[in-house]
Amino acid sequence: MDQQEQAFLSAALGMGDERLERRLLVGFHLVRDCCRIADDPSWVPRVRVAREALTLALANGTFAPGDLEVPALADLLRALDSEKPNRASVYAALVSYIHALYREASFPAALAAHDVLEQLWTPECPIRDRLEAAYFQGFMQLRAQSAREVSKFSPILLALRARAAGEGEFIALAGVIHHARTMIMGNLPLALREGEKRLRQLHRHPSLWAEGNYLHSMAATHGRAGRPDETLRIARSLLDDRYSSFTVFGALNLIGVAFTDLGDLEAARNAFELTLLAPTALLRRMAALGLMDIHARRMERRAFEQIYRYLINQPFAVDGRIHFFQVAGRGWARFGDPVRARASFDEAYRIARDCGFGYEIFETEELIDKLPDPPRLAHASDIAPEVAAHVGAMRDEHADEIAACLA
């Protein structure tokens, strides 16, 4: 069994959510054919099962209207549905599918599909498709726990490839990956300096794609650096039709987070509810997480737990997963459950340490420090009531003297 085929299947069936698994299994049958073609160019794809599975998934609501995966899968199906598929079309369709998987936060499946894409490549495939795939792969490596170490090479390799191909826009996009990496590793002053420099460079080589992403990264960096006002200023400039819907909804999510930090929960709720309309599940989940945070701050336990139960099995980017556990921990702490809060923070801390996310490590340590120490309470529970009773009795004995002192 081809390693990539096996990796994709394992990723598809390891999502922990039956609906997501059914969606990925449709893709599995097509990715399988891509593996075969990569190995044997004369292979005639067998798309019947994939077509039937896609039709069934559309009919029974596994796919919702507007899901990014649907057009991508349909394109891939169309490209493969031939006795002699055109390699460039199959390649381009697989790139779109990987993009859709990235937006749906199915990172392990997307990375496995990307390995298939590398095998599928031949010189007849358009270079722009290859660069686009490398760009998304760079982000996936950064945001998927397993491949973070490799991500340090992604920007330079993408930039080298883009320069060799004369595709200036992708040189700028390589910078976007680098900038996001700097921010996520926790070096905020450097991220701010780097972002400002790169934005100035974009005046000479304009690219709306890169500009939107830089601005988004800058807004997020200011938010992390404790400047929600700057976040709001930059994010508002992204609420513009010039930018892609992903960028606009991403900005709305940042606005929600900034308002939450400022304590304006009503404005934050409006922003998060708008983000729920985003075309990608990744952003919709972030919006749900924002709403969960608001419910915790408003002490609305039932609504908080409802979203918690929904999100616990949903795929996130690794930074999103850390944020989820932090929000959950803060919520449990507010609801007076320090043991559960500590477990959530410990999980956030573990992931942050595994990934070397400096900012998240410090942030989670601070959150843990703020918790009351349940072991201390537990250890004192056998002696504390006895001593309290003893002191109470002593106080009663000296009640008159104390009253005289207080008079």
Q: Which of 16, 82, 86, 149 binds another protein (CB under 8 A)?
A: 149
Least distance in angstroms from the C-beta of 385 to another protein: 52
Contact 77, 50 (CB under 8 A): yes
# binding residues, another protein (CB under 8 A): 39
**For 170-306, where are the E strands, in sequence order?**
none
Listed ranges 67-75, 116-124, 215-223, 289-297: which one lies at the site for another protein (CB under 8 A): 116-124
Residue 164 binds another protein (CB under 8 A): yes
Given a contact cutoff of 8 angstroms between Cβ atoms, the answer to whether 237 and 222 are in contact is: no
Tokens 């992204």 identify what position? 238
CB of 156 or CB of 377, closer to another protein = 156
Provide the phi-psi class of 65: left if phi over 0, else alpha when psi is between -120 and 50, else beta. beta
Coil/strand/helix, residue 228: helix
Binding flag, residue 88, another protein (CB under 8 A): no
CB of 150 to another protein, least distance (A): 6
Q: Residue 142 interacts with another protein (CB under 8 A)?
A: no
Residue 23 or 222 with smaller CB distance to another protein: 23
Residue burial 256-268, b: 16+ Cβ < 10 Å; e: rest: bbbbbeeeebebb
Of the candidate residues 15, 25, 220, 248, the single one contacting another protein (CB under 8 A): 25
Of 46-54, 174-182, 294-302, 309-317, the segment contacting another protein by CB under 8 A is 46-54
Q: Which stretch binds another protein (CB under 8 A): 148-156, 170-178, 237-245, 348-356?
A: 148-156
Interacting stretch for another protein, rule CB under 8 A, among 114-122, 186-194, 360-368, 387-395? 114-122
Residue pair 12/113 in contact by the 8 Å Cβ criterion: no
DSSP 165-198: HT-HHHHHHHHHHHHHHHHHHT-HHHHHHHHHHH
The rounded distance, in Å, linking the Cα atoms of 361 and 184 is: 11
Q: Are 402 and 395 in contact (CB under 8 A)?
A: yes
Burial class (CB in 10 A: 0-12, 13-18, 19+), 149: exposed
Q: Is 8 in the site for another protein (CB under 8 A)?
A: no
Interaction between residue 28 and another protein (CB under 8 A): yes
Nearer to another protein, 156 or 277 (CB): 156
Nearest distance from C-beta of residue 88 to another protein, angstroms:
16
CB 371 to another protein: min, Å: 38
Kindly report the backbone phi and psi dihedral angles of residue 335, in degrees, each rounded to the nearest multiple of 5, phi listed first.
-85, 10
Q: Which residue in the set 65, 66, 123, 166 belongs to the binding site for another protein (CB under 8 A)?
A: 123
> Is 173 or 192 the residue whose CB approaches another protein more closely?
173
13 touches another protein by CB under 8 A: yes
Q: Is the dihedral of CA 140, 143, 146, 150 positive or negative?
A: positive
The 8-class DSSP code of residue 64 comes to P
Rank residues 31 and 296 by Cβ distance to another protein and give the closer one. 31
Segment lying near another protein (by CB under 8 A), choices 28-36, 92-100, 173-181, 278-286: 28-36
> What is the smallest separation between the CB atom of 306 and another protein, expressed in angstroms?
28
Subset of 49-68 contacting another protein (CB under 8 A): 49
Residue with tokens 């081809």: 2
**Structure-block tokens of residue 203:** 């005046």
- Give the C-alpha separation, 315 to 321, whole Å: 8
Min dist CB 115 to another protein, Å, is 5
Q: Site for another protein (CB under 8 A): which residue of 16, 17, 19, 48?
A: 48
Structure tokens at 365: 């340590």
Amino acid identity of residue 296, one-letter, is: A
- Residue 218 CB, shortest distance to another protein, in Å, is 27
Angle CA 78–79–80, to nearest 5: 90
Q: Using CB under 8 A as the criterion, which residues of the chain lie in contact with another protein when the complex forms?
A: 1-3, 5-6, 9-10, 13-14, 21-22, 25, 28-29, 32, 39, 46, 48-49, 111, 114-115, 118-119, 121, 123, 130, 134, 137, 141, 147, 149-150, 153-154, 157, 160-161, 164
